[in-house]
Amino acid sequence: MAHRRIFIIAGEASGDLHGGNLVHALKQLDPHVMIRGTGGDQMQQAGMTIIRHISDMSFMGFLEVLKNIRPLLAILKQVKEDIRQFKPDLVILIDYPGFNLKIADFAHDLGIKVFYYISPQLWAWKKGRIATIRRSVDKMFVILPFEKEFYASEGVEAEFLGHPLMDVIEPLLANTKDDALPETPILALLPGSRKQEIIRILPVFLEAAAQLPAFEPVIACAPSVPEDVFLSVPGANRVKRVKGNTYALLQSASFAFVASGTATLETALFGVPQIVGYKADAASVFLARQFVKVKYISLVNLILDAPAITELIQEQLTPDALIQSFNALQKDDRNLKQNYQILKSRLGGAGCAHRTAQRMLDAL
């Protein structure tokens, strides 16, 4: 009997993390399945043959993509050629829409089944891309409960089987705190994973933290960002930093200031009270306000469809506003705790990768 062949494309760190869990689940369910594609260390360790590493593909923002357009086009050409030769039964695309939607059309034209795992945030912006998905993607496997309704309203088949973060975080919740972290109550500072975000947001977080002497601030440094970016922020060199180990920090933290993004969801799943802050350059914000059609910027509020956590955006993000929101939550966080419980129940328990892998294999 011929072994099943699957080609998977991830282009950034979060895609590699969830892709690694998916590859592991696929291999558990079918030890003979042949899997190759683009990804990172996690997918490679799970048993996928990597033809291009995410370190060659992970560019953030319009200008950075534009500057690296030639190498990206070369990778696109290589991936298409590899798919043609490998002749997979299934192509699985993980987020990374600028690249992956081109592959969706290509694979569809070759008559290959195409599944999308972890949807691009089309509900927020670039809704025009829905036409490509409707035309070339056989099924969406979405990780946010409201995405299922969004796709249904657009005539696209989508299934929600839980959020993959539950697979990563749930096993950690029973663990004890990290002894290397201070005994004083910890204020976790999560200033984002892009240089421009960190330079704008971290100074405000640090200024507010300086006004809370009962708490020890600890900065979560994204592994993809060189340390000198953090150290270029005044005062950061005097604050404890944790690199690439945000979960250990969140396990021990009493409170968090968080830049918008997946980190808001991670902080909530660890049960840590948080305030979300976000600041971008004027041009990006102007464009976002034209195109982005969402009520909230944090995933927590988007999933709950309610302002469960405070969001301080652009000029609202000041040290004083952070302190005010902090004091309000210190007085009473019962509502927040209830909302965190509702959030967890909406995301489904651990096992998303296994359930998704099973569905994908059943479809072959």
pLDDT at 63 over 70: no
Ranges 21-35, 68-82, 147-161: which has the least confidence: 68-82
**279-301: per-residue pLDDT in tens?**
877 666 665 555 556 788 899 99
pLDDT at 1 over 70: no
Cα–Cα distance for residue pair 55/13, rounded to 1 Å: 9
Reported as a pLDDT band with limits 50, 70 and 90, residue 180 is low
- Average pLDDT value for the chain: 89
pLDDT at 217 over 60: yes
Higher pLDDT, 348 or 102: 102
Reported as a pLDDT band with limits 50, 70 and 90, residue 102 is very high
- Residue 73: predicted pLDDT: 86
- Residue 331: predicted pLDDT: 87
Domain spans, the chain = 5-162+349-362, 171-347
What is the dotted CATH code of the domain comprising 171-347? 3.40.50.2000
Token pair belonging to 24: 């592991």
**291-328: per-residue pLDDT in tens?**
556 788 899 999 999 999 999 988 899 999 999 999 99
Q: What's the CATH fold of domain 5-162+349-362?
A: Rossmann fold (3.40.50)
Cα R_g (the chain), whole angstroms = 21
**pTM of the full predicted structure?**
0.84
Q: Are 54 and 15 in contact (CB under 8 A)?
A: yes
Q: Are 295 and 335 in contact (CB under 8 A)?
A: no
b/e burial code for range 22-39 (CB count within 10 A of at least 16 → b): bbbbbbeebeebbbbbbb
Q: Are 191 and 197 in contact (CB under 8 A)?
A: yes
Reported as a pLDDT band with limits 50, 70 and 90, residue 197 is confident
What three-state secondary structure class fits 258? strand
Q: Nearest-CA neighbor of 22 among 351, 246, 362? A: 351
